[in-house]
Copies of this chain bind each other. A is one copy, B any other.
Amino acid sequence: MTPFKLTEELVLQIEQLIESQDNDQLNLLLQEVHYADVAEIINELNEDEATYLIKLLESDKTSDVLTELDEDVRESILKNLSYKEIAGELGELDTDDAADIIAELPKEIVQEVISEIADKEHAKDIVDLLRYDEDSAGGLMAKELVKVNENWTVTKCVKEMRAQAENVTRVHSIYVVDKDEKLKGRLSLKDLLTVSTETHIREIYIPKVDSVNVNEDPEEVARIMSKYDLEAIPVVDEIGRLVGRITIDDIVDVIREEADRDYQMAAGISQDVEADDSIWELTRARLPWLILGLFGGAAAAVIMGGFEEIFREYTILFLFTPLIAAMAGNVGVQSSAIIVQGLANDYIKGSVGSRLLKEMLLALLNGFILSILLLFFTWFWKGDFYTSLAISISLIAVIVVAGFVGTFTPLFLHKRGIDPAIATGPFITTSNDIFGILIYFVIAKLILGI
């Protein structure tokens, strides 16, 4: 396989073909290109060009392209399509993807678009899905699945499966339900290849099947599916009826989004921006955290101002304030990051007390090593052993407290049901800057007897 590579030349070529309306060339050029790659191309085009291309290509391809586009590009293209054209695209899509797109449409046109969908069964399934919270298993699931009744024979089952499989892109498992649509178990494809055709499903199905409730959190669904290595999981409603299924490709997206969000949060970026977003969007995502940092810095300045009277004699104390702030921040971020990650991966066991004790022992060890290094540096630089020792001892105290705050904060937030990821990055850095500098000056003053 030669991997597809998006180049400026390719985009330019396509723009020229669109301008000269050379439809044959365009079709030929894009025929062999995967829809995910076509979406990458279209993301680079302007609105008119993008709309032109979507109208030109066949709708079984363009419907998939639409699902892969950047949200703003998709929105501007759909604006230029008629209700019937949008309905045509939705008709080609799996119900979960169709529901996701409908949820983005302006409210006033949703009904018209849905009424234009030719396959009424498909339309009904999509409407069903619109009921669910986007941030739940129900919001993630699709209606496409293969299900058989426990009272059928293998022959009937295979016949029904063929019909159902027509609408299902990937058959993972065949789910078995009873007469009330309640999920009873599953039938593996392999089993179906190896039993006699007159067997009843109830005799051969596997009664053990993992499932999730429609209201389950997507991240919990992701955790279950990856822990148990599942490629699809059936979704049941409050009374155990099979209402949909979630496939692993949607879960891969959930995992990536979760990781991206945590990463951005740790870096001080509110969720959901990309490098290619506008300066305005990027500013909105980043400025609040910077303002938080500014307040922290101002608070640190006020604290330092309170020690102004010792400036002349102990200038050296002030020279190390950026070092103290940096170490407090770094230790805090390290401690909180490892807790946040542990919580996300469900690694954190044992009591909060033992966790804190461990982190403080760790901070003590690190702090001791770092303080020795700093002691020799300062002593060598300024020649004043006693002051150097005071600075080093203060550093140990700062590091232990920073480790405590970095460990305690995410554990506390988690207990309170708040996403602990918010405790990483600027939040912990800023509070540790302030604590750190305060502790540093107080302890140094005490030791030096000022």
Report yes or no: B248 in contact with A255, Cβ–Cβ below 8 A.
no
Residues of B within 8 A of A251 (CB): 252
- The range of chain A's interface size is 35 or more
Question: What separation, in Å, do the CA atoms of A263 and B255 have in the docked complex?
Answer: 14
The residue that A321 contacts in the complex, of B226, B302, B321, with Cβ under 8 A, is B321
Is A373 among interface residues, defined by CB-CB distance under 8 A? yes
Binary CB contact string for chain A from 307 to 329 against chain B (1 if under 8 A, 0 otherwise): 01001100100111111111101
* A13-61 residues at the B interface, CB under 8 angstroms: 34, 36, 44
The stretch that binds B, out of A116-124, A342-350, A442-450, is: A342-350
CB distance from A9 to the nearest CB of B (A): 13
The residue that A259 contacts in the complex, of B34, B212, B259, B370, with Cβ under 8 A, is B259
Instruction: Give the interface centre of A6, A294, A322, A365 by most chain B CB atoms within 10 Å.
Output: A322
Is A193 among interface residues, defined by CB-CB distance under 8 A? yes
Report yes or no: A1 in contact with B349, Cβ–Cβ below 8 A.
no
The stretch that binds B, out of A84-92, A107-115, A128-136, A265-273, is: A265-273
Is A409 among interface residues, defined by CB-CB distance under 8 A? no
Report yes or no: B325 in contact with A325, Cβ–Cβ below 8 A.
yes
Known contacts A190-B165, A289-B330; decide if A274 and B1 are in contact (CB<8 Å): no
Instruction: Give the interface centre of A44, A290, A381 by most chain B CB atoms within 10 Å.
Output: A290
Report yes or no: B339 in contact with A275, Cβ–Cβ below 8 A.
yes
* A400-427 residues at the B interface, CB under 8 angstroms: 424-426
Report yes or no: B293 in contact with A341, Cβ–Cβ below 8 A.
no
Residues of B within 8 A of A369 (CB): 287
Residues of B within 8 A of A300 (CB): 322-323, 326
Binary CB contact string for chain A from 275 to 306 against chain B (1 if under 8 A, 0 otherwise): 11001001100110111011011101110110
Question: What separation, in Å, do the CA atoms of A253 and B377 have in the docked complex?
Answer: 44
- Chain A interface main SS type: helix
Is A241 among interface residues, defined by CB-CB distance under 8 A? no
Residues of B within 8 A of A255 (CB): 252, 255-256, 259
Question: What separation, in Å, do the CA atoms of A327 and B291 have in the docked complex?
Answer: 9
The residue that A326 contacts in the complex, of B296, B304, B370, with Cβ under 8 A, is B296
What residue of chain B has the Cβ atom nearest to residue A336's Cβ? B267
Is A334 among interface residues, defined by CB-CB distance under 8 A? yes
The residue that A331 contacts in the complex, of B290, B329, B334, with Cβ under 8 A, is B290
Residues of B within 8 A of A228 (CB): 34, 36
Report yes or no: B290 in contact with A327, Cβ–Cβ below 8 A.
yes
Binary CB contact string for chain A from 351 to 367 against chain B (1 if under 8 A, 0 otherwise): 00001001001100110
Question: What separation, in Å, do the CA atoms of A334 and B290 have in the docked complex?
Answer: 10
Report yes or no: B189 in contact with A283, Cβ–Cβ below 8 A.
no
Residues of B within 8 A of A329 (CB): 326, 329, 429
* A201-226 residues at the B interface, CB under 8 angstroms: 209-212, 224-226
Is A150 among interface residues, defined by CB-CB distance under 8 A? no
Report yes or no: B286 in contact with A366, Cβ–Cβ below 8 A.
yes
Report yes or no: B269 in contact with A334, Cβ–Cβ below 8 A.
yes
Instruction: Give the interface centre of A170, A249, A296, A319 by most chain B CB atoms within 10 Å.
Output: A319
Report yes or no: A249 in contact with B229, Cβ–Cβ below 8 A.
yes
Instruction: Give the interface centre of A253, A276, A282, A301 by most chain B CB atoms within 10 Å.
Output: A301
CB distance from A44 to the nearest CB of B (A): 7
Is A433 among interface residues, defined by CB-CB distance under 8 A? yes
Report yes or no: A326 in contact with B338, Cβ–Cβ below 8 A.
no
Binary CB contact string for chain A from 135 to 161 against chain B (1 if under 8 A, 0 otherwise): 000000000000000000000001001
Residues of B within 8 A of A161 (CB): 193
Report yes or no: A349 in contact with B274, Cβ–Cβ below 8 A.
no
Residues of B within 8 A of A298 (CB): 323, 374, 377
15 A-B Cβ contacts within 8 A? A1-B210, A44-B349, A166-B190, A226-B256, A231-B231, A256-B259, A260-B341, A269-B334, A269-B338, A274-B341, A274-B342, A290-B334, A304-B319, A311-B311, A330-B429
